[in-house]
Structure 1
Amino acid sequence: MQNDAFQSDRSKTKAWRLDQLEKLERMLLDNRERWTDALYKDFGKPPFEQEFEIVVPMGNINYYRDNLDDLMAPEPVALPAGLAETGHEGVIHREPFGVTLVIGPFNAPILLLLDPAIAALAAGNPVMLKPANTTPATARLFAELVPKYFDPRDVAVVTGGRDEISALLELPFDFIFFTGSSKVGKVVMRAAAEHLTPVILELGGQNPTLVDTSADLERAADYIAWGQNAISGQWCIAPGYVCVHEDVADAFVEKVKASIRRMYGDDPKKSPDFARMISEKDAERVASYIVEDQIVLGGRHSKADRYVEPTLLYPAGWSDPAMQQEIFGPVLPILRYRDLADVVGRIKTLDKPLAAYVFSRDRAVAERFIHSVSFGGGCVNMTNLHCWVDSLPFGGVGSSGMGKYYGKAGFDALSNLKSMLVSPVDQLLDVFPPYVEKDIEKLLAPFAG
């Protein structure tokens, strides 16, 4: 149904795209309380974390609505002088790929399902939504509301678990957007290869954070404490570990402890601002990374309550259990370093992360870190907030993903850039054989610049 509708070219108009964005906006705002209630039911998301799942997609809708004319317009490009002087034109047209499958994760089940869908719709692609089955209340709400607001030829939804995802991946979609683990990302990519379907994979990794001797330690402590414990650490861009210069490490740890207590109290389990793990299995997994003699804060956990307390491990080492994979929970290893070159070199031996952060008043230190370490994106003197800015392309690199979205980058990623060379009817470029008596250099001159 969606493919037949796409072949009719109905989704290529500006009117269609604006209509889809308006419907999505109404679906969010008309049911705002129901969305936030669903997030709380699924894993106890606090009000602020509920609201940014509405606010961030709204910002992306507004960006595309305000910039659609420019994004859809054919883009003239410069040509070699020999072609330009004879009236030739180079133009890039952005056309939608077609029916796009968007598979969302559990940790931000509204935002990380809808943001890719918003980019896809703005670029003219019909969308099939697959919400996470591990957030059942949110998935049920998608299943209920999407058919009420959208023509199924434009936006449809499929719920379920592994069997449903496997069935979807057997279909010849025109584009697949997946957010989730690297393990499942490989499954998606293998399935996409069967149909040569292009993909964006937004995965994850163990995200490094560097704090040097010049850093504002209180600022660093606040941002790291919040960035690592929001959504109970179940955030693909959360700081995964912190490397702190040995001269300030002890002082930094004390400030992080104070920040966590100020944000979540002495018993975070009672805090209305601290979410739960998505499952008992995940609570048990994250608790297994805790090394008892390294605990300087926290450490309490309950599998039955899906709870792991904000926990600091210090001093941690590179071979510790918490350093062997993405933690995806509220456990933070803190390592000491002495030499910047050494710690940057060690970070570079690990898989490329989705995000990285550096706290320093020394711009040279920040620039060295940014240019030497490969990662998807990040912040200087803050954490996490880069993914809320629609003008900053968001995505991973290497094992943390491929492809970028948000803003113009998202529109371009969900569009086929169709390059056209337009020739005046009265201009003939003689590129035809026989070549024996022709000046080859002269024939090629228009393309030589």
Structure 2
Amino acid sequence: MNNLSEVVNTARKAFNREVTKPLDFRVKQLKAFHQLLEENGSELVSALQKDLKKPYPEALLAEVESTKNQIKGALFDVHKWVQPETTETNIILLFDKTYIFPQPYGVVLIIGAWNYPFLLVAVPLLGAIAAGNCVIIKPSEKAPATAKALSSLIPQYLDKDCFHVVTGGVPETTALLNERFDYIFYTGSPAVGKKIREASNKYLTPCTLELGGKCPVYIDDEVDIELAAKRIIWGKMLNLGQTCVAPDYILCSKKTEERFIELAKKVLLEFFGAEPENSPDLSRIVNEEHFERIIKFLNCGKIAVGGDYDPKEKYIAPTILTDIKESDSVMQEEIFGPVLPILRATTPDEAIKFINKREKPLTLYLFSSNKNVLDQFLMSTSSGSMCVNDTVVHLSVDSLPFGGVGMSGMGTYHGKYSFDTFSHKRSVLVRSLNAIGEYLGKARYPPYSNAKTRLLKKFLVKRPNLIPPYLSELLIFVFGMLTALTVKEIFAIVPNETLPRPL
């Protein structure tokens, strides 16, 4: 189907037929998605290598295996995620049912990014499936091999009416944004994120924006600098720096800077050899546009390590810059490449002040064994996430929500948070029709009086939930006995409403 309106309309009709709502259907689709990865993992890895020359372990573990594990997690727990969640009530509603019912939004749009072109489509997709939505998937045109693989494989495994892949570039994305969706999930740059947000305003469509920003690293003088250097260099050079949570710049003292540079040279030699351009473990920059953008940063400050590049290969050597000024171009935008500037901050206070003058980062990295320093950063900075004494690995913990704050994004996902993102939390109150419930609430009816107002004020005041829900039936029974109701009347007023069963 070439007509995008027809694609969206097909998905809308499937959702309106409630195809995706039964739990059995969701589980079946998740299992099919897992089967896709089991049977085509090698094809996806090959596509990732074509697009970014990703090393095999990075492509396999960071994209394919990571997605498989999140699908397994969803299969383990989706039957619990779909259950209504009971809530506390006030005294007037003591004998009634209140709960939160997770409900799929409908037809959702997922727009992927080029740096992890499979992972950043697949993880939100599995959350949308688990939540019971129909999905239109728009992979990044800057990773054409992966986009082609997705458009070929997904129709072979997932329901063809409910899940669609739309390929193409800016015109196709623009056309999709003119359609009406019930939720939009976008991963990419803040500049494009603003356009997505503008487009979503047409229908007041809720959206998640997974953006980026300059993720700072502060290294204090007392930390194990050898271990810090190894972990920072690994996180920075993963995917050749083309990771939204890659360390973007370092703040540290002069003494720590000198020691870090000395150790970074050793680590880079250990990781990539004397000729890193020939290492099979380094990716390449995705295209010429980004290559040209990044090499301009090499004119900033002083090159302490690296600095080599090859336009034909779109290769840039792992590079460390010193003597950087705040006004330098390398500090004006997210680097998204293997260039790591170091700036001076002799104390935690100086580092925090520097970080807080800028937009809130997606992730903040702290290397310190001092609890007071950790507490200071936790209380005095704001970021989407924070990782202490390591880099990037926090993304592997799907029990932690992942997302930005401010210009680094809005909304979270991973694990159950992916399910929550694609679920509307519907509030439900089911009132009983028994005599006791009516007796407790009758003071609300006109004619009003001061006595009724005082009584309602006491009933509605917030207090600890001292009466568990399962005691409500017992209290009704006791109340009935105390008011001399007959046994027949008592059992007639005991509420028998139950929460809806999982689909």
Provide TM-score, normalisation by structure 2.
0.87
**Contact 2:300 2:329 (8 Å CA) reproduced:** no
Which residue number in structure 2 is paired with residue 299 of structure 1? 307
Within-5 A mapping of 1:371-410:
371-410=379-418
Mapped to 1, the partners of 2:391 and 2:123 lie a distance apart of 20
- Match status 1:133 vs 2:141: yes
Pick from 433, 441, 444 the counterpart of residue 446 of structure 2: 433
Deviates more, 1:367-376 or 1:435-444: 435-444
Per the TM alignment, residue 404 of structure 1 is displaced from its structure 2 partner at its CA by 0.5
1:119 counterpart letter in structure 2: G
1:378 counterpart letter in structure 2: M
Mapped to 2, the partners of 1:443 and 1:293 lie a distance apart of 69
Per the TM alignment, residue 340 of structure 1 is displaced from its structure 2 partner at its CA by 1.6
4+ residue runs over 6 A deviation = none
Within-5 A mapping of 1:59-138:
59-84=69-94, 87-138=95-146
Three-state SS of the structure 1 residue aligned to 2:103 is: strand
Q: Which runs of 5+ in 2 are unaligned?
A: 1-9, 463-503
Which residue number in structure 2 is paired with residue 328 of structure 1? 336
Per the TM alignment, residue 138 of structure 1 is displaced from its structure 2 partner at its CA by 0.7
**Contact 1:176 1:199 (8 Å CA) reproduced:** yes
Which residue number in structure 2 is paired with residue 446 of structure 1? 459
Within-5 A mapping of 1:252-331:
252-291=260-299, 294-331=302-339
**Contact 1:378 1:384 (8 Å CA) reproduced:** no
1:30 counterpart letter in structure 2: E
Gap change, CA 1:299 and 1:292, over 3 Å in 2? farther
Mapped to 2, the partners of 1:347 and 1:35 lie a distance apart of 38
Per the TM alignment, residue 265 of structure 1 is displaced from its structure 2 partner at its CA by 1.5
Mapped to 2, the partners of 1:441 and 1:133 lie a distance apart of 65
Which residue number in structure 2 is paired with residue 201 of structure 1? 209
Mapped to 1, the partners of 2:274 and 2:375 lie a distance apart of 37
**Contact 1:174 1:197 (8 Å CA) reproduced:** yes
- Match status 1:29 vs 2:42: no
Gap change, CA 1:190 and 1:264, over 3 Å in 2? same
Mapped to 2, the partners of 1:302 and 1:284 lie a distance apart of 11
Q: Per-residue CA shift, 1:31-60, capped at 9, x if unaligned?
A: 111101111111200012111201111111
Per the TM alignment, residue 411 of structure 1 is displaced from its structure 2 partner at its CA by 1.5
**Contact 1:88 1:421 (8 Å CA) reproduced:** yes
Mapped to 1, the partners of 2:21 and 2:453 lie a distance apart of 42
Which residue number in structure 2 is paired with residue 56 of structure 1? 66
Pick from 19, 35, 43 the counterpart of residue 28 of structure 2: 19
Which residue number in structure 1 is paired with residue 219 of structure 2? 211
Pick from 168, 171, 176 the counterpart of residue 163 of structure 1: 171
1:246 counterpart letter in structure 2: K
Q: Per-residue CA shift, 1:93-133, capped at 9, x if unaligned?
A: 10011111000000000101110111111111111111110
Mapped to 1, the partners of 2:133 and 2:92 lie a distance apart of 37
Q: Per-residue CA shift, 1:415-436, capped at 9, x if unaligned?
A: 1111112221112223333325
Gap change, CA 1:247 and 1:200, over 3 Å in 2? same
Q: Per-residue CA shift, 1:153-204, capped at 9, x if unaligned?
A: 2211000000000010011100000000001101111001101110000000
Mapped to 2, the partners of 1:446 and 1:66 lie a distance apart of 42
**Contact 2:108 2:181 (8 Å CA) reproduced:** yes
Per the TM alignment, residue 293 of structure 1 is displaced from its structure 2 partner at its CA by 5.4
Deviates more, 1:153-162 or 1:285-294: 285-294
Gap change, CA 1:350 and 1:27, over 3 Å in 2? same
Which residue number in structure 1 is paired with residue 368 of structure 2? 360
Mapped to 2, the partners of 1:388 and 1:312 lie a distance apart of 27
Per the TM alignment, residue 317 of structure 1 is displaced from its structure 2 partner at its CA by 2.6
Deviates more, 1:388-397 or 1:432-441: 432-441
Gap change, CA 1:16 and 1:446, over 3 Å in 2? farther
Which residue number in structure 2 is paired with residue 8 of structure 1? 17
**Contact 1:291 1:313 (8 Å CA) reproduced:** no
Per the TM alignment, residue 65 of structure 1 is displaced from its structure 2 partner at its CA by 0.7
Mapped to 2, the partners of 1:310 and 1:424 lie a distance apart of 68
**Contact 1:283 1:302 (8 Å CA) reproduced:** no
Three-state SS of the structure 2 residue aligned to 1:289 is: helix
Pick from 222, 236, 245 the counterpart of residue 237 of structure 1: 245
1:357 counterpart letter in structure 2: Y
Within-5 A mapping of 1:164-203:
164-203=172-211
**Contact 1:295 1:313 (8 Å CA) reproduced:** yes
Mapped to 2, the partners of 1:215 and 1:80 lie a distance apart of 52
1:75 counterpart letter in structure 2: E
Aligned residues: 447
**Contact 2:301 2:325 (8 Å CA) reproduced:** no
